[in-house]
Amino acid sequence: MEGEEKKSEGETNPSERPDASGWTPELYARRKARAKAMAWVLVAMIALFFLVTVVKLGGNIAERSI
């Protein structure tokens, strides 16, 4: 049993082996993709908040008493 496990460990593609912290390159790639997705969401949120602020302020400016 132990021998089989060692054999399967030996057959693992070196690029798929975990590093010292136990993470495989694939896990790093997924984490990077998650971080990218989060960054896009944050940028979109900033844009949305900015646009809404302009829309709300714009209305108030248009309706101000002069």
Cα(57)–Cα(63) distance, integer angstroms: 10
| Size (the chain), residues | 66
User: Least separation, in Å, of the C-beta of 66 and another protein?
Assistant: 23
User: Least separation, in Å, of the C-beta of 24 and another protein?
Assistant: 7
CA dihedral 35, 39, 41, 44 (to 10 degrees): -170
User: Least separation, in Å, of the C-beta of 17 and another protein?
Assistant: 10
Amino acid identity of residue 49, one-letter, is F
Compose the 6-45 pattern: x for residues touching another protein by CB under 8 A, - for all others: x--x--------x---xxx-xx--xx-xx-xx--------
